[in-house]
Amino acid sequence: MSGPGEFELIRDFFAARFQGSAPEAGVVLGIGDDCALLTPPAGKTLATSVDTLVAGVHFPATADPYRIASRALRVNLSDLAAMNAQPLWFTLALTLPESNADWLAGFAEGLADTAKRFDVQLVGGDTTKGPLAITIQVTGACDRPLRRDGASAGDSVFVSNRLGAAAAALPIVLGEVGGSEIQRQQMDASYYFPEPQFTVASAIGGYASAALDISDGLLADLAHICEASGLGAELDLNQVPVAELAQTMSGDQARTVAVTGGDDYQLCFTVPQQHLPALNVLNLPITCIGTMTRERGIRCTLDGEPWTHAQPGYRHF
């Protein structure tokens, strides 16, 4: 197995794939020196975020390395989308139990394809020996950042697209159930290729008062907007758009995964009433599901009756 020399090879392996791919993107000096040298776009605010994915916690250790890389970069990019920031650069810290050339080739290919798709540059990294874990730091630029603390009472609460796909996919990801061919494709797309919502974020940028991406589940994440803005919310669960993969469950279960399941990386955001007409004409894939309130806490109704949930939030495995 590996001595330090092998991990230097890994570093070079990534450097070869990513070096010099887009010199126009503010990269004065990329991988290979003590630091990267980067020029921020004039007049923009930088947004930066770091996130670690651990094998056996955030993805199955035996998952396809191409898919692990895709998921790792996409969930980090989702945080940039949630701030309405355009991706610029990222760094990678990779902890590996062993340096397996096939695994690394798959991982690097997944990382390179995803980076190209979202026009983001790898500018530095580090490799260490240990249990498989991936840390990615992303940096982007924004004009109109969407923060969590800007909501006001009376603002409408929206979500993008549909919720519950990743939570519904988890039993298939973990191999607990086989699923049909279509379900396996939906699982693969929702779990390993979640779509950071850059298009929706930039369209709502001028109208939304607060936003975040749904990583831990709608109720858990909306609670962060409530907390940061000093407010509560009322939700009509009949309005929550349920993902197709979750619709194969019973109505109750489907609704529960849609409002409490994590990993969807859709946006949850609030919009002041005066901006609703302008937002409506944009025909975005968004749905109004409730209203921000002065009264703290999140109150849900289903068919006009109060609805309570056992345990909101992310299911660790």
The label of the residue with tokens 């197995």 reads 1
- Residues of this chain that interact with Mg ion (CB under 5 A) are 79, 213
CB 305, min distance to Mg ion, A: 31
Q: What is the DSSP letter of 41?
A: P
What's the min distance (Å) between Cβ of 224 and Mg ion? 9
In terms of CB distance, is 213 or 263 closer to Mg ion?
Answer: 213
- Rounded CA-CA distance 101/45 in Å is 39
Distance from C-alpha of 289 to C-alpha of 300, rounded to nearest angstrom: 10
Question: Which of 10, 146 has the CB closer to Mg ion?
Answer: 146
- Measured CA to CA, the distance from residue 190 to residue 194 in angstroms comes to 5
Q: What minimum distance in Å lies between the beta carbon of 119 and Mg ion?
A: 20
CB of 286 to Mg ion, least distance (A): 18
Feature table: binding site? 34, 49, 51, 58, 79, 125-126, 148, 213, 215-216, 263, 314
Distances, alpha carbon 81 to alpha carbons 38, 49, 138, 277, 283, in Å: 21, 11, 11, 23, 19
Nearer to Mg ion, 27 or 134 (CB): 134
Name the residue nearer to Mg ion (CB basis): 99 or 161.
161
Residues at the binding site for substrate are: 58, 263, 314
Among candidates 137, 140, 122, 147, which has minimal Cα distance to 51?
Answer: 137
Q: How far is the CB of 195 from Mg ion (least distance, A)?
A: 14
In terms of CB distance, is 220 or 258 closer to Mg ion? 220
Spell out a b/e string for 124-147, using b for 16 or more CB atoms within 10 Å of the CB, else e. bbebeeeebbbbbbbbbbbeeebb
Closest distance to Mg ion from the beta carbon of 94 (Å): 22
* 30 vs 261, beta carbon nearer Mg ion: 261
Cite the annotated binding site for Mg(2+) by residue number: 34, 49, 51, 79, 126, 213, 216
Tokens 């701030």 sit on residue: 83
Shortest Å distance, C-beta 202 to Mg ion: 17
Compare residues 155 and 221 and give the one whose CB is closer to Mg ion. 221
Task: For Cα atoms 171, 160, 115, give the angle at the middle one, nearest 5 degrees.
Answer: 75
Is residue 68 classed exposed, middle or buried when 0-12, 13-18 and 19+ CB atoms within 10 A define those classes? buried
For residue 59, the 8-state DSSP code is B
d(CA 111, CA 92): 10
